Chain A
Amino acid sequence: MGSSSFVWTSFTGGEISQTAQGRFDQPYYKTSLNVCLNGIPLENGSWQRRPGTRHVAPTRGGKTGKLISFSFQDSFPYQMEFTDGFLRFTTGPSLVMTNDQQSIVAISSANPAVVQTASAHGWSTGNSVAFNSLGVNNPLLQNRQFTITVVNTTHFSIADAITGASIDGSTLGTFASGNVTRILEIATTYNSGSWSGLRSVQAETRTVLLNGTKPQILQVATAPTISQFATFTFSPSDFIDGPYLDPIDGSVVSSSALNGVVTLTFFFQAYDSTIAYNIGDFVSSGGVGYQSLTSLNQNNTPASSPSNWKVVNGGTPVNNGQGFQSSDIGRLLRLFSEPQLWNSSSTYTTGTVVAYSDGIGGFSYWTATGSVGAGVQPGTSTLWAINATGAQWTWAQVVSVSGSGLISPVSAIGSLVSGGGIAAAFDGNTGKSFSSCATFFTNIQTWPVWSAVVWGVGNVCQYAGTAYRANVTIVPSPPFDAWNSGIAYGNGQTVTYQGAVYTCIRTETFFAGVGIPPTGYSALGLTSAMFWTFIESISALPPNLAPSLWTSLGAISGASEDVYVGQHYSSPSAISLVTLYPSVDVGLANVPSDSVQNGTYTINLRAKNSAPSAANDGTVLATLTLGNNIAPITLISTDQVSTWSYVWVEITASYLQPLPDDGSHIFVIKIGLSQVQFYAPNVNNGSVITAQIRGNALLYNQTIRTWQLGVYSDTTGWPTCGTYHEGRIWFGGVVSNRFDSSVSNGFNGIELDFTPTGPDGTVSVSNAISYICDGEDTNQILWMTPDQQGIIFGTQAGEWLISAPAQGALAPTNIKAVRVTKIGCANAEPRRAEHTLLFIQKFSRKIMEYFADVFSGKFSAPNLSERAKHMTVNGVAEIAYQQELAPIFWCRRNDGALVGATYKRDTLTTSQGPTIIGWHRHQLGSGRRVESIAVGPSHGGNLDSLSLITNDTNSGVRHLEIMGDLLDESFILTDCAFLDDAITPSSTLVQAGPTGGPFGSLLINGLWAHNGKKVTAFIAGLDCGDYTVSNGSITVPFGDGVSGGTGSGLFTAALAESFQAVAGETIPAVIGFSYNSDGQLVRPVAPADTGAQTIGFAKLGRQHRASALLFGCVNGSISFGTDFTKLDPAKLRQPNDVQYPVNVLWSGIWRDTVNSLLDYDGMISWRISRPLPATVIVVGGFDSKADI
C-alpha cells in the first residue's frame, strides 16, 4: 500500500458530471469537483461560499412574475418586476416608491384599520403602500405591503397586499408615529402571464417592451436622485409608416376621399382576356372578384369558366383569405397614389395626369399640356410633359373594419357556464384570462408518474394506468457502498445489501458489524438485527415488477369532456366560418401536450334549426383537431348556403392518464373560450375598412393599384424580440426569417418610425430596413443582439449575422445577412459576457459561448456545459451574466433550479477552451423554486448582482430576492449574510430578562414575509440560532456572556446595545433561511496524488487526513470528510491548542484526521451549513492506496 499527499490548488473546473470524471488524463480534472453546491469557484482558483440572497419584497400580490433589468443609469440601477397587469420597479434592495410619502396622523382600531394622513394623499383605491419609521410599534405593519381602499382624501383602509385580508386595527397595537409610502405601480396590459416572454429593447432612458403583443414604451420621466426615485411613463408604441408586407399582386383599393378618415374598398384589377393568369391570380369581372384555379388561364371569361375561376371576395388576399378582421384595427397600410393608366382610346384634357408603363415594370407619369387626342402616347408628343411628382406614397391606419361578416350575438347557448359564463364568449373581448372566459372545469385525481427516483413510504405513483402506493422507502441507487465483510462499520454508517439500505446501529465502532451482514445472520447469539436497521429498499424497477415494494391501488382513470358554446339567432343565418379565441393563459383546453396518449382536442362547428339537445347534436359544418394553444382558431364551414337558427362550437377533449401532478394530486381540467365569432358568407368579408390617412393626402381619386399591409397587428402578431443598434430599433419574431429596423434615430417618444421610402419611393440610407433572409428553412427569430460585426440573431435552426458589406453603417442599401452557424437557439435571451455571447442551445441542454475566432474571423460556439451536462437536466430556461466580483453566468432551469458557472475567456481562439468554466449548483435555503432571474448593477453600480423571483411552493407566494456580494478579503463578520431571502429587520428592541430568556432577549420586527417560517438569525456576526416567525417578529434570547446560550454565549444585551449606542447605527442583523454549501473533490487518481506506483484508479484507499488552506472562517463553520454523511467540524485552534472563539475570523492552514472509508473514491468533502463564511483556497489529502 502506497501513501501520498496531494493538493487541489484550484477549483475553477467546478462541478463536473459523473460521466466526465473519467478524464483524469485531462488538465481540467485537477481543478474539478464532484460536488459544488452553493459554492462558487472564483477566478483566482479558490472556492467561496455563495452569498445569501437579500429579501427585497414579495412580488405584487405575491404573484408569479418576471424580472428585467432597466439600467438606464448605473449609479441608480433599476429593475422591472412584471406581474399580471402591473409593473413595479426595484433599485438595489428597495422597491421604488412614488416620492409622495405621507406622514401618518393615526391608525384606527377598526377592522379594517383606517390610516389617517397629515395631508391629502392623492392616492387611489387599489394602490399598494408600505409603512416606515414606526419604531418598534405596530410590528404587524412593518416590512409588509398593503392594498388600500380610499375613504377620503386623508383616510384609507388597509388590507394585506398578498392575501387581501383586511387588517384589524385592534391587533396593531398603539400607533406612535410613522410614515406611509406608495409603491410605484404602473398598470400594464400584460395579464395572465403574458409578461413571461417579455423582452426589453433599451435605448438610453427608454425601452420598448416586446412579447408578441403591441409593444409598450417605458420612458424615464424624471431621473432618480439621491433623495427621489425615478418616475416613468408607460404607453403603447405608435408605429410610423411601417413596416409592411409586400404588395399583393392584383389587389387594388379605392378610397372614398383623398384625406382624413377614408373608406377603403378592396377589389381586383380588371380581367384582361389577353393575359394568361396563373393559379391564385385575382381579377375582377362584372363587379365580381375571381381567383384563378389554373395556370395559363387565358381568355376564359371568369363568369362562365367555373373550372378556371372561383368567386372570391375583395378581402380574400388579406389575412390568408379571411379578409380584414376586427383585430386589424390599428394596423398600418401603405398606399401608392398614382394617376389613371394611359388609355390609347381616351382623349385627355389639359392638366390630366396619366401613368404610362415603360414596358419593363416601371411607370412614368405625364401631364397633358393641351388637348390630347386618342392614341397619342406619352413620350411621343409634346402634348405630354413628364411629371416627376406624379405619384406618391402615403400611409394610413385602420380605424374600423366593416362588412367583416361578423354576426352580431343574439342569445348565447352552451355548457361553458363557469368563469364569466356563456355570455363572456360574446362580449367582444378576445383577450381574457381563463377566470373571465366562458369556461368549464372539473377536478380529476392524478398521481406522479413512476420513475426511478426516491419514493417515500406511503407515496403514491401511477404506472401504466395503475396507481401504486410504496410500502417502504424505495431508492433507485443510493450513494452508499455495498456491505463489505472486511470492513468494520460504526454507528450511523450506511451500506447497501441485497437490494436494501441498512444503517449500522452499534456504537462499538471498531468491531461493529465485522463480518455480520445487515440481514440473515444469526450465530453465536448475534443477529443482523442487533447491528443493522433497515432504512430503505433499493429498486429501479417499476411497481408492477416490484410487487413486494408497492401495493396496487387499481386503475387510474382519465376523463373525456364534451362541451359547447354558441348562439341562437332569431333570424336564421348562413355560416361562413367561426373564429375562436382561447383564454390567453390556459388556452382552449389544457390537454397536456406531453401526455402520453393525448395531446390534442377536437373542435366541431355545428348547427341546427332547433335547440341542440347536446354538444354533439346538429350538423357538423367543420371540424378541426389540434394541440392546445392561445392563438385564434378558425373553422370554415363546408355549407355556406343553409341557414341556421342555432350554431355552436363543440369541444371534445380527452384527458388520459398520466396527467401532470403538481404535488396536489389533483389535475384541474380547464376548457375556456375568451370569444367566439360566427361569420356569415356573401358579405364584404373584410374587404371594406375605414382608415385614417396619416401621411400626405392621396394625390388622385383613382384606384390604388399598389398597396401594402402592415406586418404587425393583433391579427398577425407583434415583435417578440429586438435590439437597439446604430440608432435603429430592430425587431423580429413575427414573420419567419424576417427582421425590420426603424429609420435611423427612429425611436422618438412613443413613436417607432419605420418609414421605408420617401413619398416618391426613393430609398435612402436612413430609411427603415425590412428583409427576409434567404435560407434553406424559415424560422422565427428568437433573439437579436448587437455585435462588433453587426447584429447576431438566433433562430431554432441557426445563428445569423447581419452586417454592412461595404464601408458605412447598416442601411437598406448596405446590408447583408448570412447564417454563420447552425447550432440552433432556444427562445431565451442571450447574454453578453466580457468577450463572448452566451446563448442557450435549442434543446435547452447546452450553454454555448459564441464568438468570432480572432484568426479566421469565423464564428464558433463551444459548448460550455460539455463537462457538466447534468447541470442542464430539465433544460435551461434563462441565463444572466454578472461580471463582478466573479464572472458568472447564472442559469434558471425549467424545474426552478438555479445553477451557475464561473466563466472567463481571455483568448478568442476556437482551438482553446475558455480560461475558466466552473459550474456550481445552488439550492436556496428557503427551498423555493426560481422563476425569474436578472442581473444588473448592484446598488451603487460598483458590482453586479443577481436578482431572483422565487416561488414558495407551499404558499404560492413569490418573493423578489437579490443575491449579496461575494466577500472581499477585507470583510468583517458583520458583513456576512449567508442566509437566503434574508431580511434586514425594520426595528429591534432589547428586552430585559426574563422577557424572551433569562438574560433578556432581542425582539426583531419586520419579518412578516417569513411569518410562520423557521428562520435563522445572524446577528452582530454571530449565528444566533433558528426561530419561528410569529406576527412578523422573532425573539432571540441573549446568551450568558460566557459560553452558554445564543451565539455560544456571546450574543448579549450589551452587545446589542453597543450598536444602538452609536447614533444612526442599528445592530447588524439578517434573518433568513440557512443553507448548506458543499464541496467535494473528484477522485484523486494520478500516481503522485495517490502514492500508487501506477495510476491510482480502482485501487482501494483511504484519506487518513485532510488539510486545507482556508480564509475567513470561524470555528464550526466548516466540516470535512470524504462523505457528506460523515463530516467532522474543522477545529480551528490557536497555537496553544485552544479553539478560536466563534466571533473571530480565522485564516490559515488546517489539517486533521477525517472520517474516511476504505474505498475506491477518497473524495475529500466539505460543508458549511450555518450562516457563516468560509473560503477554501487549497484542499489536500493524505491518501493510502492498495497498489493492486
Chain B
Amino acid sequence: MAISNATFSDISGAVSDIFAGMGAADKAALQAQGLRITAQGTLITAQGTRLNAESLRTKAAGDIAEASNYDLASTLAEANKAYTDQSTRLQQSQLNRNITQTIGGQQAGVAASGFGAGGSAAYLLRDSQAQGALAKGVLAQQGVITEAGYEQQAQSYTTLANAGRATAAAEMDMASKTDTIATEQDALAVQQQQLANQTQDVGNKEADMDFFSGAIKGVSAIASIFI
C-alpha cells in the first residue's frame, strides 16, 4: 500500500490522538488541581466562617454582659425614684413642720405684740400659708420631676439591657448558623477534592483512550502504508 491520504489522515489522527491523550491528561490534572485548590479554599472559608461564628458568640457574650449592666442601672434608677419619693415626702413633712412653726411663731409674735389674729396678722398668716403651700407644691413638683427622670432612666436602661440580650441571642444564632455554613463548606471542599480526583481520573482515562486511538490510528496508518 501506498502512502495515501488515509495514511496521512491516520497518521495525523494518531498523532492527534496521541497528543490529545497527552492534553487530556494534562487538562484533567489541571482541572483536578484547580478543584483541589477550590476545595482547599472552601476549607479555608469554612475555617473563617467558624471564626466568624466564634466571634459572634464572643460578641453575644459581651452584649449579655452589657445587658446585665443595664439591668443593674435600671434597678438603681428605680431605687432612686423610690428614694426621691421618700425624700420628697420627708421634705414635705419637714416643710409642714417649718410652716406650722413659722405660722405658730407669727401667731405668738402677733399675740405677744398685743394684737388679735385679724387684720394685718391674718394677712401675714395667710401669706405664710400661701408661701408654705407654694413651697410644698414646688417641692412636690421637683420630686415628681426627679422621680419621672429616674423612672425614665430605669426604663431606658431596661430597654438597653433587653436590646443587648436580644442582640446576643441573634449573634449566637448567627454563630450557630455560621458554624453550619462552615460545615457545609467543609463538605463542599471534600466534594471538590473528590471532584478533582474524579476529574484526574477522567482525564487519565481520556488520555489513555486518546493514546489507544492514536495507537490504532498509527497502526492503521502504518498499516495503510503497507496495505
Residues of A in contact with B (beta carbons under 8 Å apart): 243, 245-247, 356-366, 378-382, 384-386, 388, 738, 740, 756-757, 760-763, 767-775, 805, 812-813, 815-819
CB of B224, distance to nearest CB on chain A (Å): 109
CB of A247, distance to nearest CB on chain B (Å): 8
Q: Please, which residues of chain A bring their CB within 8 A of the CB of B100?
A: 360
Taking a contact as CB atoms closer than 8 A, the residue among A359, A385, A761 that contacts B123 in the complex is A761
CA distance A184 to B169 in the complex (A): 107
Taking a contact as CB atoms closer than 8 A, the residue among A362, A365, A740 that contacts B132 in the complex is A362
Whether A356 pairs with B118 at a CB distance below 8 angstroms is no
Residues of B in contact with A (beta carbons under 8 Å apart): 96, 99-100, 103, 111, 113-116, 118-124, 126-127, 129-134, 136-138, 140-141, 143-145, 148
Q: Return the chain A residue nearest B96 by Cβ.
A: A360
CA distance A385 to B132 in the complex (A): 16
Taking a contact as CB atoms closer than 8 A, the residue among A357, A365, A774 that contacts B111 in the complex is A774
22 residue pairs A–B, Cβ–Cβ below 8 Å: A246-B119, A246-B122, A356-B137, A360-B129, A361-B103, A362-B131, A362-B132, A362-B134, A379-B137, A379-B144, A380-B144, A385-B141, A386-B134, A740-B119, A761-B130, A763-B120, A763-B124, A768-B120, A771-B118, A771-B120, A771-B121, A815-B120
CA distance A760 to B130 in the complex (A): 9
CB of A245, distance to nearest CB on chain B (Å): 8
Given A379-B141, A817-B115, 10 more contacts at CB 8 Å?
A360-B96, A362-B132, A362-B136, A364-B134, A364-B137, A379-B137, A763-B127, A772-B118, A812-B123, A815-B115
Whether A817 pairs with B114 at a CB distance below 8 angstroms is yes
CA distance A771 to B123 in the complex (A): 11
Whether A362 pairs with B141 at a CB distance below 8 angstroms is no
CB of B153, distance to nearest CB on chain A (Å): 15
Q: With A362-B132, A770-B120 as known contacts, state yes or no: A386 contacts B137, CB within 8 Å.
A: yes
CA distance A365 to B103 in the complex (A): 20
Whether B115 pairs with A774 at a CB distance below 8 angstroms is yes
CB of B91, distance to nearest CB on chain A (Å): 12
Q: With A360-B96, A364-B133, A761-B126 as known contacts, state yes or no: A818 contacts B141, CB within 8 Å.
A: no
Q: With A363-B130, A366-B137, A762-B127 as known contacts, state yes or no: A773 contacts B148, CB within 8 Å.
A: no
CB of A782, distance to nearest CB on chain B (Å): 18
Q: Please, which residues of chain B bring their CB within 8 A of the CB of A358?
A: 96, 99, 129, 132-133, 136-137
Whether B145 pairs with A382 at a CB distance below 8 angstroms is yes
Whether B136 pairs with A364 at a CB distance below 8 angstroms is yes
CB of B99, distance to nearest CB on chain A (Å): 6
Q: Return the chain A residue nearest B112 by Cβ.
A: A816
Whether A382 pairs with B144 at a CB distance below 8 angstroms is yes
Q: With A772-B118, A817-B113 as known contacts, state yes or no: A380 contacts B123, CB within 8 Å.
A: no
Q: Please, which residues of chain B bring their CB within 8 A of the CB of A740?
A: 119
Whether A773 pairs with B127 at a CB distance below 8 angstroms is no
CA distance A386 to B124 in the complex (A): 22
Whether A246 pairs with B113 at a CB distance below 8 angstroms is no
Whether B120 pairs with A812 at a CB distance below 8 angstroms is yes
Q: Please, which residues of chain A bring their CB within 8 A of the CB of B136?
A: 358, 362, 364, 379
CB of B67, distance to nearest CB on chain A (Å): 29
CA distance A763 to B148 in the complex (A): 36
Q: With A358-B132, A361-B129, A378-B137 as known contacts, state yes or no: A769 contacts B144, CB within 8 Å.
A: no
Taking a contact as CB atoms closer than 8 A, the residue among A245, A365, A378, A761 that contacts B127 in the complex is A761
Q: Please, which residues of chain A bring their CB within 8 A of the CB of B96?
A: 358-360
Whether B114 pairs with A818 at a CB distance below 8 angstroms is yes
Whether B141 pairs with A772 at a CB distance below 8 angstroms is no
Q: Please, which residues of chain A bring their CB within 8 A of the CB of B113?
A: 805, 815-817
Q: Return the chain B residue nearest A737 by Cβ.
A: B116
Whether A360 pairs with B119 at a CB distance below 8 angstroms is no
CB of A951, distance to nearest CB on chain B (Å): 43
Taking a contact as CB atoms closer than 8 A, the residue among A245, A379, A386, A772 that contacts B116 in the complex is A772
Q: Please, which residues of chain B bring their CB within 8 A of the CB of A361?
A: 103, 129
CA distance A1153 to B111 in the complex (A): 72
CB of A248, distance to nearest CB on chain B (Å): 12
CB of B97, distance to nearest CB on chain A (Å): 10
CA distance A141 to B3 in the complex (A): 191
Q: Which 8 A-B pairs have the closest CB atoms?
A: A362-B133, A379-B140, A770-B119, A364-B137, A362-B129, A816-B113, A812-B120, A358-B133
Q: Return the chain A residue nearest B118 by Cβ.
A: A246
CB of B82, distance to nearest CB on chain A (Å): 14
Q: Please, which residues of chain A bring their CB within 8 A of the CB of B123?
A: 756-757, 761, 763, 767, 770, 812
Whether A771 pairs with B115 at a CB distance below 8 angstroms is yes
CA distance A760 to B131 in the complex (A): 10
CA distance A279 to B123 in the complex (A): 25
Q: Please, which residues of chain A bring their CB within 8 A of the CB of B134?
A: 362, 364, 386, 388
Q: Return the chain A residue nearest B126 by Cβ.
A: A761
CA distance A815 to B145 in the complex (A): 42
Q: Please, which residues of chain B bring their CB within 8 A of the CB of A378?
A: 137, 140
CA distance A815 to B121 in the complex (A): 10
Taking a contact as CB atoms closer than 8 A, the residue among B103, B133, B143 that contacts A363 in the complex is B133
Taking a contact as CB atoms closer than 8 A, the residue among B111, B114, B127 that contacts A757 in the complex is B127
Q: Please, which residues of chain B bring their CB within 8 A of the CB of A243?
A: 119
Q: With A362-B132, A388-B134 as known contacts, state yes or no: A774 contacts B114, CB within 8 Å.
A: yes
CB of A954, distance to nearest CB on chain B (Å): 52
Q: Which one of B103, B134, B148 has the highest number of Cβ atoms from chain A below 10 Å of its Cβ? A: B134
Q: Please, which residues of chain A bring their CB within 8 A of the CB of B132?
A: 358, 360, 362
CB of A812, distance to nearest CB on chain B (Å): 4
CA distance A379 to B85 in the complex (A): 11
Whether B126 pairs with A360 at a CB distance below 8 angstroms is no
Whether B148 pairs with A382 at a CB distance below 8 angstroms is yes
Q: Please, which residues of chain B bring their CB within 8 A of the CB of A819?
A: 114
Q: Please, which residues of chain A bring their CB within 8 A of the CB of B114?
A: 773-775, 816-819
CA distance A816 to B120 in the complex (A): 12
CB of B136, distance to nearest CB on chain A (Å): 5
Q: Please, which residues of chain A bring their CB within 8 A of the CB of B121?
A: 771
Q: Return the chain B residue nearest A817 by Cβ.
A: B114
Q: Please, which residues of chain B bring their CB within 8 A of the CB of A770?
A: 118-120, 123
Q: Please, which residues of chain B bring their CB within 8 A of the CB of A363?
A: 129-130, 133
CA distance A816 to B121 in the complex (A): 11
Q: Please, which residues of chain A bring their CB within 8 A of the CB of B115?
A: 771-774, 815, 817
Q: Which one of A364, A756, A761 has the highest number of Cβ atoms from chain B below 10 Å of its Cβ? A: A364
Q: Please, which residues of chain A bring their CB within 8 A of the CB of B103?
A: 361
Q: Please, which residues of chain B bring their CB within 8 A of the CB of A388?
A: 134
CA distance A819 to B114 in the complex (A): 9
Q: With A360-B100, A812-B124 as known contacts, state yes or no: A771 contacts B119, CB within 8 Å.
A: yes
Q: Which one of A356, A384, A386, A773 has the highest number of Cβ atoms from chain B below 10 Å of its Cβ? A: A386
Q: Please, which residues of chain A bring their CB within 8 A of the CB of B127?
A: 757, 761-763
Q: Please, which residues of chain B bring their CB within 8 A of the CB of A247?
A: 122
Whether B144 pairs with A813 at a CB distance below 8 angstroms is no
Whether A772 pairs with B137 at a CB distance below 8 angstroms is no
Q: Return the chain A residue nearest B100 by Cβ.
A: A360
Q: Please, which residues of chain B bring their CB within 8 A of the CB of A359?
A: 96
Q: Return the chain A residue nearest B119 by Cβ.
A: A770
Whether A738 pairs with B133 at a CB distance below 8 angstroms is no
Q: Please, which residues of chain A bring their CB within 8 A of the CB of B137?
A: 356, 358, 364-366, 378-379, 386
Q: Please, which residues of chain B bring their CB within 8 A of the CB of A246?
A: 118-119, 122
Q: Return the chain B residue nearest A768 by Cβ.
A: B120
Q: Please, which residues of chain B bring their CB within 8 A of the CB of A767?
A: 120, 123
CB of B206, distance to nearest CB on chain A (Å): 85
Q: Please, which residues of chain B bring their CB within 8 A of the CB of A760?
A: 130
Q: Which one of B118, B120, B134, B143 has the highest number of Cβ atoms from chain A below 10 Å of its Cβ? A: B120
CB of B129, distance to nearest CB on chain A (Å): 4
CA distance A740 to B123 in the complex (A): 13
CA distance A30 to B111 in the complex (A): 51
CA distance A384 to B148 in the complex (A): 13
Q: Return the chain B residue nearest A805 by Cβ.
A: B113
CA distance A246 to B116 in the complex (A): 11
CB of A1090, distance to nearest CB on chain B (Å): 56
Whether A362 pairs with B144 at a CB distance below 8 angstroms is no
Q: Please, which residues of chain B bring their CB within 8 A of the CB of A815?
A: 113, 115, 120
